[in-house]
Homo-oligomer: A and B are copies of this chain.
């Protein structure tokens, strides 16, 4: 039996600072938050997705091609990708066998003799448009997600005939692409095929897949896609990637493209291309990323917008963009070993990604804004202030399902020389011959206990990430406090020794409450602060406002953070949020009045002050709908 593997497995010759572990090397327990999310995904989100593929017509779209359904084509023209992503999730999770078998058989039956498979463009009415409108058609994007499902199949169930069936279908489509576009100057309007082909190369060793991925990257940026509705920068076709300094345009397109570029760069040893992807990642993080890790400031074209244009209320911050950021971060972490990529994976995971799913796992945000006002007008939105159980463009839910199903594979890296822990979660980790148990209630609790469970007579290095947000990491080994600062190198605490079973490392990542301000160029949140603790961004939500006392009946928007009242941590021990924050707020006295006034007109002193609860951002909108805000206006200091 072959070794099980997860997403992103660079070949042995690839540029790589870190190596992913086998897919079964990390096991998360549901006692930890990541393990609980993974369990919820298998128990609720993934079955929900499988059901929706039937009720929303995605499977029937394919059955129309096979002649087994005569209903009309339903949904967006790339609706097949919801099937592919759900299939990928099912492979990673090892569940939903009946769906897997049904989908695999259906895809095989629907595939054209030449390998083409796209139920929208196989429709007799659309067939003549095949390959004629690449800027728009998503045909290769759809092929890419089919291939990703096949990659998951090959890595998670290498000996399973059904998995092999999916791999065969995907390879036939990939072979068609190689045959058709191997010498072409064209490319697809929505990236995804690049990373998919590179991964398929990794699975199959078939070099033409990698070459085609590299070709698509190079074809892009020469205005081969036309102006479209939003201009060539919308799909990163305005200039060659290698000449680009700033992320731009449609966020998911940009991030999927960069993921493909990293894959190609590391497999071809192209350090220049790898540097380009790092430069673009920096440009996103320096000026175009929300404090939640979300990216994308504009609704109209789902795009980045200008540098420092980060409105909390109109944050588009698409869930798929957050997932894409996580996937890109992992690729860059593997390639470079730089801690900043792991830090960002953590931020986006615990905030933008986590917020997208309801606590019951069956409702989702498409867009993850950082503010909702009283009386919010959700018309024209993809997220009307509360999570929906599905979307007409349902890219996000199955994307969440495939990420969560493979979440454990992103927690650690390693090889015979050691083990690197990047995301802390209750569970067990094995790398090379080394195994450890991780016990922690992180991110609620500051303490992480790592117990070695494998014997060794050779020294090896246990590396523990020290997040950039942590002001003071404390270490104890076998009960003895140890100086931690000296041993932190490049963001990781490196403990090199001969480890014995039972050796016990206790890492304490102190989590003071932080009041955070944005760069002064971020106009949208000037004069406001956000509350964070550890990796968690917090928010005020209407449901936590007192219904009696001085704030009773207050308009949510009239609350200001009281800078004179320090925020405190409230430990609850259990529940959805075992730890919340308590913050002092003031209610502005004069809440009405004209929209514009003389600057020097005296503002009345605050009418009331009190203390309210701030909850982790990712848990908002799990009670009755109402206003929320991450960035809280700062009350003027009293003179």
Contact = CB atoms under 8 A, between A and B. Distances in A.
A220 to B, nearest CB: 16
Interface in A500-549: 514-530
Interface string A353-384: 00000000000000000010111111110000
A314 B309 CA distance: 9
A230 B377 CA distance: 11
A306 interface: yes
A599 interface: yes
A108 interface: no
Contact of A373 (B285, B303, B306, B600): B306
A429 to B, nearest CB: 30
A626 to B, nearest CB: 13
A305 B385 CA distance: 13
Interface stretch (A38-46, A188-196, A286-294, A612-620): A286-294
Contacts of A601: 517
A380 B633 contact: no
| Copies of this protein in the complex | 2
A299 interface: yes
Nearest to A378: B231
A599 B298 contact: no
A597 B516 CA distance: 6
B379 A234 contact: yes
Contact of A519 (B234, B300, B309, B597): B597
Contacts of A303: 377, 379-380
Tell me whether chain A's interface is mostly helix, strand or loop, or mixed: loop
A415 interface: no
A122 interface: no
Contacts of A234: 379-380
A487 to B, nearest CB: 25
Nearest to A291: B596
Given A301-B379, A301-B380, A526 B633 contact: yes
B314 A311 contact: yes
A473 to B, nearest CB: 17
A522 B633 CA distance: 11
A637 to B, nearest CB: 10
A603 B517 CA distance: 11
A338 to B, nearest CB: 16
A312 interface: yes
A559 B68 CA distance: 66
A304 interface: yes
B526 A597 contact: no
B526 A528 contact: yes
Nearest to A384: B231
Given A307-B374, A518-B595, A526-B527, 10 more contacts: A287-B595, A309-B313, A311-B311, A515-B599, A516-B597, A519-B597, A520-B560, A520-B588, A521-B591, A529-B599
14 contacts: A231-B379, A233-B379, A234-B379, A304-B377, A312-B523, A516-B596, A517-B601, A519-B593, A519-B594, A519-B595, A519-B597, A520-B603, A526-B527, A527-B527
